[in-house]
Structure 1
């Protein structure tokens, strides 16, 4: 099974409501979707979402990078997985979203060839996982309403977006905690918007108020590893490193410094499964648990992330709720959602059958 061609296209998915964080507001998902075609007419699917503020990738840069790498891997045999991944990684620096799309599609084909769903290829630890749901940044009243709706829909883990102002952030979290019934877990995501000192101050305030926060995600700037360690060292609440981790080297440095308690893996940040597996394996070796998350992306990327989370025992938390906010889902096949439960398909590979509205980019 040799790579014969790579087709590049895009899809657009409107959201039911705006996705709001401290650094961005998104009303729709625009995604680059590729199809790798083999000489026996098998098709592997991969996707890349532009996220300039996190990965530095735009739609144009993703397309340009895929076209550059494309010429290097056409003709390669899918069985030569290591060489394909090395070529994808080393043809161009950075451009992790483009690399993730290619990596995803190659693994899809590899699993199809051997007639196995990806979650089993990655270890088959479980066939279903529980996702949390993101509570958009807003007024405390708006966030409470959204949190109650999520709880009524069966969600037991709420990821609460904060980061605009520590005083208001405390009020947001406290208001949600006050209405959440017993057994509802609150996670807080500051999206890099606190300073180390203000992070320690507000997290300590959460602790003193007995809010029992499960963990706080990326409280400080991604580059500030010393600041991240300062926070981790000075609070009792677990700290999750997200934007600070783009590569296995980043993850290893953070774990060696004990700068965070948990590691968040995103395929768009690290460049796909091949590098995500390295991060997961290093974390397991170091006794650090992982979370699997996604960007604002379609069910293609969510299916990929979910399959990895299902495969690996060391991935214990997931944040893969994005498609619940879609006006409609253009992806046929892939994982299935029932409230907060995500279940894998037993179709080989990603299990994606069709993508409606896919338009080729010439």
Structure 2
């Protein structure tokens, strides 16, 4: 999977389990991605253990203040904090015997997600876009942030393969401000207007 800051061929995540005093168990996951954040499985494991030590024995109902505490100490280890928060909230809502979505307002029993297409050739991008549409997915995130001509050609091919889906672009900090504007202008000239350009610059 290739983005502007690097390529990865496998992932090594971290599973976090939290058990509350009443026996409720919650699960969370850290998904460090070294090319983007500098985090590794080893740093995530270490930070997750540190987060566990920080919150051990505290009231899970105060999850917001516990999250703030973890962020104040492990601010550079976002995946460990996120995974610990997931496990904490999962355990808490299990102890309340309600689903997490109800805890956060209960607006829906389903969510909508997108499909990311990495930095591939236009031909492969077209194929992946067609496959995405066939799966019923209505939003595609396209990885950009490399050579502008390659990026524009990829987005154009993906739009051709998926003419009726929402497109967002993610440059993963690969552009300068001027390059980001050039990319958007080139796409606009082709009647392609992304909903969002995520993280264009460092």
TM bucket by the smaller chain? 0.7 to 0.9
Question: If each structure's strand is expressed as a fraction of its own residues, which one has the higher value?
Answer: 1
Q: CA deviation at 1:93?
A: 4.1
Q: CA deviation at 1:118?
A: 0.9
| TM norm structure 2 | 0.88
Hey, what does 2:92 align to over in structure 1? 110
Q: Could you tell me whether the CA contact under 8 Å between 1:192 and 1:220 is conserved in 2?
A: yes
Q: CA deviation at 1:209?
A: 1.9
Alignment of 1:1-362 (within 5 A): 19-181=1-163, 183-221=164-202
Q: Across the two proteins, how many residue pairs are aligned to each other?
A: 202
Q: Could you tell me whether the CA contact under 8 Å between 2:126 and 2:160 is conserved in 1?
A: no
- Partners of 2:59 and 2:192 lie apart in 1 by 54
Is the alpha carbon distance of 1:164 and 1:91 closer, same or farther for their aligned partners in structure 2, counting shifts above 3 Å?
Answer: closer
Q: CA deviation at 1:204?
A: 1.0
- Partners of 2:61 and 2:23 lie apart in 1 by 16
- Partners of 1:72 and 1:179 lie apart in 2 by 49
Q: Which runs of 4+ in 1 moved over 4 A?
A: none
Report Cα offsets for 1:131-181 as digits up to 9, x if no partner. 111122111111111111111222222212222211121111122223434
Task: Give the CA RMSD over aligned residues.
Answer: 2.1
Report Cα offsets for 1:60-117 as digits up to 9, x if no partner. 2222223333333222232343453343233444322222222211111211121111
Is the alpha carbon distance of 1:146 and 1:77 closer, same or farther for their aligned partners in structure 2, counting shifts above 3 Å?
Answer: same
Q: Could you tell me whether the CA contact under 8 Å between 1:21 and 1:161 is conserved in 2?
A: yes
Please state whether the residue corresponding to 1:69 is helix, strand or coil. Answer: helix
- Partners of 1:178 and 1:102 lie apart in 2 by 41
Is the alpha carbon distance of 1:82 and 1:152 closer, same or farther for their aligned partners in structure 2, counting shifts above 3 Å?
Answer: closer
- Partners of 2:178 and 2:62 lie apart in 1 by 49
Hey, what does 1:279 align to over in structure 2? none
- Partners of 2:61 and 2:45 lie apart in 1 by 25
| TM norm structure 1 | 0.51
Gaps of 5+ in 2: none
Gaps of 5+ in 1: 1-18, 222-362
Is the alpha carbon distance of 1:149 and 1:85 closer, same or farther for their aligned partners in structure 2, counting shifts above 3 Å?
Answer: closer
Q: CA deviation at 1:217?
A: 1.8
- Partners of 1:30 and 1:62 lie apart in 2 by 10
Is the alpha carbon distance of 1:142 and 1:74 closer, same or farther for their aligned partners in structure 2, counting shifts above 3 Å?
Answer: same
